[in-house]
Amino acid sequence: MSRENEIDGLVMDQFGGNAPESIAGGAANTGLYAEMFTDYTEEKPVGADKTVYKGTGLNSFGIGANVAEVDVKGDKIVRIRPLQYDKKYTKEYLKPWTIKARGSEFESGLKTLIPPYAYAYKTRVDSRNRILYPMKRVDWDPKGERHPENRGKSKFQRISWDEATTIIANEIIRVKETYGLPSIFVQGDGHGETKVIHASHGCNTRLMNLVGDDWTYQARQPDSWEGWYWGAKHMWGQDPLGQFDMGNLLLDVAENSDMLLFWGCDMETTTWGWQGQLPSRYCFWLTEIGVQQVYVCPDVNYGAACHADKWIPVLPNTDSALQAAIAYVWINEDLYDKEYIETHSIGFDWFERYIMGEEDGQPKTPEWAAPICGVPSRQIKALAHQWAKRKTSIAHGNGGSFIRSTYSHEPARFEASLMTMMGLGKPGRNIVKFIEWYMYGLPSQQPAPCYSSNMIVGAAYHGWDFQETKSSIPKTLVPKAILGDYTDEKPLTWKGYTVCSWPRENQFKTYQYPIPGAQPLHMIWTDTPCWTTCWNGGNSMERALRDEKIECIVAQQPWLENDCLFADILLPINTKFEEEDIGQDNGAGQFGSIYYEGLAVSPRGESKSDYEAVGEVAKKLGLYEQYTGGKDIKEWVKVGFDCAETPDPITYEDFMEKGYYAAPTMDGWEKLPRGWEKFCKDPENHRLQTPSGKVEFYSLGLAEHFPDDDERPVVPHVILYGKRHQESLLCDRAKDYPFLIVSNHPRWRLHANMDDMPWTREIPTCKVKGPDGYMYEPVWINPIDAEKKGIESGDVVKVFNDRGWVLGGAIVTERIRPQVVYQDHGARLDPIEPGVSDRGGANNLIAPTKTTSQNAAGEVTSGFLVDIEKVDVFELAKQYPEAFSRPYHADEGVDITTWMQEA
Closest residue by Cα to residue 511 from 187, 861, 221, 186:
221
Closest residue by Cα to residue 292 from 331, 329, 241, 253:
253
Share of the chain above pLDDT 90, in %: 70
pLDDT at 439 over 50: no
pLDDT of residue 38: 63
Share of the chain above pLDDT 70, in %: 89
CA distances from 17 to 8, 25, 28 (A): 11, 9, 11
pLDDT of residue 445: 27
Lowest mean pLDDT among 53-67, 670-684, 866-880: 53-67
Polymer length of the chain = 903
Q: What is the pLDDT of residues 53-107, one digit of tens each?
A: 998 876 544 456 688 999 999 999 999 999 988 877 888 888 888 999 999 999 8
pLDDT at 790 over 90: yes
Q: HSE (CB half, 13 Å, CA atoms) of 886?
A: 23
Mean pLDDT value of segment 507-516: 96
Mean pLDDT value of segment 788-794: 98
Q: What is the mean pLDDT of the chain?
A: 88
pLDDT at 820 over 70: yes
What residues contact residue 813 under an 8 Å CB cut-off, 6+ apart? 780, 781, 782, 783, 793
Closest residue by Cα to residue 191 from 78, 66, 318, 59:
59
Confidence class of residue 630 from pLDDT cuts 50, 70 and 90? very high
pLDDT of residue 902: 77
Confidence class of residue 202 from pLDDT cuts 50, 70 and 90? confident
What residues contact residue 649 under an 8 Å CB cut-off, 6+ apart? none
Edge-to-edge order in the sheet of strand 292-296:
310-312, 292-296, 259-263, 392-396, 431-433
What residues contact residue 17 under an 8 Å CB cut-off, 6+ apart? 23, 25, 26, 764
pLDDT at 597 over 50: yes
pLDDT of residue 443: 29
CB neighbours (10 Å) of residue 310? Answer: 16
For the CA atoms of 551, 556, 561, 563, what is the dihedral angle to 10 degrees? -30
Cis ω before 514 (30° cut-off from 0): yes
Confidence class of residue 34 from pLDDT cuts 50, 70 and 90? low
pLDDT of residue 41: 55
Pairing of strands 569-572, 552-557: parallel
Mean pLDDT value of segment 543-564: 97
Give 76-138 as a 3 state SS string.
EEEEEEECEHHHCCCHHHHCCCEEEECCEEEECCCECCCCHHHHHHHHHCCCCCECCCCEEEC
**pLDDT greater at residue 523 or residue 444:** 523
Confidence class of residue 26 from pLDDT cuts 50, 70 and 90? very low
Lowest mean pLDDT among 466-470, 475-479, 638-642, 748-752: 466-470
pLDDT of residue 435: 56
Alpha helices in 257-290 (DSSP H): 267-270, 272-275, 278-289
pLDDT of residue 185: 97
Lowest mean pLDDT among 121-135, 223-237, 264-278, 332-346: 264-278
Confidence class of residue 553 from pLDDT cuts 50, 70 and 90? very high
pLDDT of residue 802: 98
State how far the Cα of 414 lies from the Cα of 540, in Å rounded to an integer.
32
CB neighbours (10 Å) of residue 873? Answer: 17
Closest residue by Cα to residue 410 from 858, 717, 729:
717
Mean pLDDT value of segment 217-241: 87
Mean pLDDT value of segment 184-211: 86
**pLDDT greater at residue 550 or residue 750:** 550
What residues contact residue 92 under an 8 Å CB cut-off, 6+ apart? none
DSSP string, 328-348: HHHHHTT-S-HHHHHHHEE-H
CB neighbours (10 Å) of residue 149? Answer: 13
pLDDT of residue 257: 98
Angle, in degrees to the nearest 10, between helices 278-289 and 249-256: 20
DSSP string, 389-451: HS-EEEEESS--GGGGSTTTHHHHHHHHHHHHHT-TTSTT--EEE-SHHHHS--TTTS--SB-
- The identity of residue 140, as a single letter, is W
Lowest mean pLDDT among 21-35, 124-138, 421-435: 21-35
State how far the Cα of 494 lies from the Cα of 850, in Å rounded to an integer.
12
DSSP string, 748-784: SSBTTB-TT-HHHHTSTTT-EE-TTS-EEPEEEE-HH
pLDDT of residue 3: 32
State how far the Cα of 560 lies from the Cα of 544, in Å rounded to an integer.
20
Mean pLDDT value of segment 313-337: 98
Closest residue by Cα to residue 430 from 393, 389, 398:
393
- ∠ CA 441-577-137, rounded to 5°: 110
Lowest mean pLDDT among 55-69, 275-289, 361-375: 55-69
Bridge partner list, 72: 50, 77
Lowest mean pLDDT among 210-214, 398-402, 547-551, 849-853: 398-402
Tell me 231's DSSP state: I
Confidence class of residue 43 from pLDDT cuts 50, 70 and 90? low
pLDDT at 17 over 60: no
Lowest mean pLDDT among 522-526, 593-597, 720-724: 593-597
CB contact at 8 A, 443 and 482: no
CB contact at 8 A, 227 and 320: no
CB neighbours (10 Å) of residue 220? Answer: 21
What residues contact residue 19 under an 8 Å CB cut-off, 6+ apart? 9, 12
Mean pLDDT value of segment 843-861: 97
pLDDT at 472 over 70: yes
CB contact at 8 A, 452 and 663: yes
CB neighbours (10 Å) of residue 891? Answer: 16
State how far the Cα of 344 lies from the Cα of 662, in Å rounded to an integer.
40
**pLDDT greater at residue 96 or residue 152:** 152
**pLDDT greater at residue 66 or residue 462:** 66
**pLDDT greater at residue 692 or residue 648:** 692
State how far the Cα of 634 lies from the Cα of 619, in Å rounded to an integer.
20
Confidence class of residue 275 from pLDDT cuts 50, 70 and 90? confident
pLDDT at 448 over 90: no
Confidence class of residue 244 from pLDDT cuts 50, 70 and 90? low
State how far the Cα of 364 lies from the Cα of 717, in Å rounded to an integer.
10
pLDDT at 223 over 90: no
Q: What is the pLDDT of residues 695-729, one digit of tens each?
A: 999 999 999 999 999 999 999 999 999 999 999 99
Mean pLDDT value of segment 404-414: 97
Alpha helices in 669-756 (DSSP H): 677-681, 700-705
